[in-house]
Amino acid sequence: MKELANFLAGAAERGQQILVLCHHNADPDAVASAIVLTEVLNRLGARAKAGVSESLSLISQNLLRAFGREIAINPPLEAGLVVLVDTSSLEHLGKLGEQLEQKAPKLVVIDHHRPVEAMKQLASFYFVQEEFASESELILQLVRELGAELTPEGASLLLAGIISDTAHFRFAKDQTFEAVNSLIKAGVNYRRVLEALRLPEDPSKRVAMLKAAQRVELRRIHGRLVVLSELGSFEGDAASMLVRIGADVAIVGSEEKGRIRLSGRARQEILKTLGLHLGELMEELGKQFGGSGGGHAGAASMNGEGELEEAKKYLFKALQQKLKPKE
């Protein structure tokens, strides 16, 4: 890390052009890392620019809008030095990766994914630490090593990267919390970060979820909570929602002009203890109703012809068998 910091500080002091680049469909961890590192290098004297290959994820677009930042999409590769962040290989850069290979500028790789041998050969500096839960934590350490200060907004961006890559700290390591602590000291605005990471919800989806909940028909089968509901769209989302709020098995169906569609979800626990497989059940149902069906054990769907009432009857009968406790 020290060596890498010295190398980057030297390049910055010489006022070098540096392009900090991250992978396509860039997530908040990637864009936060690219933008914060770029800003720090610029404060140290570099002419650095942040860029991304092809596109940004929706949540990243939200994040940048919230913090008034921009990142160049498919930037020109003019810089003599290119730093890749959160990007383990050139393949994650699409066309830009091919151009990079041809132009062959000096390359630095700073990453937290599995190391890629070919990149090790290609890079002048290869700094990959797989044990880091997020690239943002790596960048935080690098900023410290560079002797630079983070602005409160820079700290907030890195926190957004950490929250996003750790799925709200589910995959956090002990050291993640040390990083968060030091970001808080640098002036993070946690509320603002959380707000920026929330995607505006589709109003029609919200109405659909409420309708699905309203139309629930609840049955107890061998002590298990089985629910059925009707909805013309978002059936899969609705079934997931019904399992989340308490169902063991949730089936959401629709019927239109003699065509039926069913989507099912089940709790993990029930799949394990009873060996229930919704994919098989939906396949059976698809055949029964002149259509097709299938999927995973816990998430499956079917479509066919007939009446929803008939499909329901069939389902309840099948579940009577399949939810029977094992002797």
Given the rule CB under 5 A, which residues bind Mn ion?
29, 86, 135, 165
d(CA 301, CA 280): 10
Which residues make beta-bridge pairs with 48?
18
- Residue 39 or 135: the one with the smaller Cβ distance to Mn ion is 135
- Residue 135 or 248: the one with the smaller Cβ distance to Mn ion is 135
- Residue 69 or 261: the one with the smaller Cβ distance to Mn ion is 69
- Residue type at 223 in one-letter notation: G
Task: Quote the least distance from Cβ 172 to Mn ion, whole Å.
Answer: 13
Task: Quote the least distance from Cβ 222 to Mn ion, whole Å.
Answer: 44
Alpha helix positions (H), the chain = 2-13, 28-43, 58-66, 95-103, 117-122, 135-145, 152-165, 174-185, 190-196, 203-214, 235-244, 268-274, 278-288, 308-322
- Residue 165 or 237: the one with the smaller Cβ distance to Mn ion is 165
Residues counted in the chain: 327
Task: Quote the least distance from Cβ 278 to Mn ion, whole Å.
Answer: 33
- Residue 86 or 248: the one with the smaller Cβ distance to Mn ion is 86
Task: Quote the least distance from Cβ 243 to Mn ion, whole Å.
Answer: 29
Task: Quote the least distance from Cβ 325 to Mn ion, whole Å.
Answer: 44
Q: How many angstroms separate the Cα of 106 from the Cα of each of 15, 81, 130, 314?
A: 15, 5, 23, 65
| Cβ burial, residue 264 (10 Å; 0-12/13-18/19+) | buried
